[in-house]
């Protein structure tokens, strides 16, 4: 198993610090949920870990860079490719062989089998988000960064996609941004809150994920997070 990923440092934007200096540790093979108000820098942290450029300057370092799959907040689908081609884009861009059986399996699991030949413009927001998820799940990477991956999904589909992601990403190091306390409580092994003062670690249920929605520990965690988020 690959070691922990550690980001230390601070981001400045227009001469102003986005948040206090922080240290974010991603435990190997575990799922970390990152919560916090809009605009505080969550997506920026994901981009830093992915080694992508950010709006602003970063003073700090990322230790232990791993091959990464990033599901960005914007689905980022290519409009001239079909659902199936978008979902298989990673291998295609690398000029590698697409695992066709896995692709069909993931499209099926994401409820996209009937739309595999459709173009993004004809899809709903939720369907587009599921294509982006399918593309991320197709990538076989030890580090997976998910930026509000289920935010556009209805409640039933959201639970199904959470279960699917938990199953397919088991054993990988995952960092997921979410605004949904229930999602963090069912999926995460570690929960961190980002605000201007930096990162705060909050307790997560210690039972195996994905946890049942009505699990006592999930409901308690969800309530505690909600209290914290609206404080």
Residues of this chain that bind ligand ADP (CB under 6 A): 13, 18, 36, 38-44, 55
Which of 12-20, 36-44, 161-169, 210-218 is the region at the interface with Mg ion (rule: CB under 5 A)?
Answer: 36-44
Q: What is the 3-state secondary structure (H, E, C) of 13-76?
A: ECCEECCCCEEEEECCCCEEEEECCCCCCHHHHHHHHHCCCCCCEEEEEEECCCCEEEECCCCC
DSSP string, 175-206: EEE-S-HHHHHHH-SEEEEEETTEEEEE----
How far apart are CB 135 and ligand ADP at their closest, in Å? 20
For residue 217, give the nearest of 182, 192, 191 by alpha carbon. 182
Lookup result for tokens 């003073």 = 59
Q: How far apart are CA 137 and CA 80, in angstroms?
A: 21
How far apart are CB 13 and ligand ADP at their closest, in Å? 5
Judge contact between 58 and 5, C-beta under 8 A.
no
Residue 173 interacting with Mg ion (CB under 5 A): no
Residue 43 interacting with Mg ion (CB under 5 A): yes
By beta carbon distance, the residue nearest ligand ADP is 55
Selection from Mg ion, ligand ADP, none that 55 binds (CB < 5 to 8 A by kind) is ligand ADP
How far apart are CB 224 and Mg ion at their closest, in Å? 23
How far apart are CB 224 and ligand ADP at their closest, in Å? 21
For residue 181, give the nearest of 199, 156, 205, 206 by alpha carbon. 205
Q: Which is nearer to ligand ADP, 18 or 62 (CB)?
A: 18
Site string for Mg ion, 50-89 (x = CB under 5 A): -----------------------x----------------
How far apart are CB 43 and Mg ion at their closest, in Å? 3
């Amino acid at each position: 198993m690959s070691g922990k990923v550690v980001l230390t440092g601070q981001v400045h934007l227009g001469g102003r610090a986005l948040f206090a200096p922080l240290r974010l540790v991603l435990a190997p093979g575990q799922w970390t949920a990152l919560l916090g108000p809009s605009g505080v820098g969550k997506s920026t942290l994901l981009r830093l870990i992915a080694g992508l450029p950010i709006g602003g300057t970063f003073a700090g370092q990322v230790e232990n860079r791993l091959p990464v799959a990033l599901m960005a907040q914007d689905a980022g689908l290519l409009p001239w490719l079909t659902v199936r081609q978008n979902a298989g884009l990673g291998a295609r861009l690398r000029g590698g062989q697409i695992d066709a059986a896995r692709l069909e399996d993931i499209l099926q699991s994401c409820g996209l089998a009937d739309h595999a030949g459709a173009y993004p413009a004809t899809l709903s927001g939720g369907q587009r988000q599921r294509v982006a998820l399918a593309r991320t799940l197709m990538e076989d990477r030890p580090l997976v960064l998910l930026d509000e991956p289920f935010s556009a999904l209805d409640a039933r589909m959201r639970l199904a996609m959470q279960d699917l992601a938990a199953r397919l990403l088991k054993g990988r190091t995952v960092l997921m941004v979410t605004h949904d306390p229930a999602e963090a409580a069912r999926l995460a092994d570690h929960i961190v809150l980002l605000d201007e003062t930096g990162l705060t670690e909050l307790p997560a249920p210690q039972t195996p994920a994905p946890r049942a929605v009505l699990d006592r520990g999930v409901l308690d965690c969800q309530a505690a997070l909600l209290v914290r988020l609206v404080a």
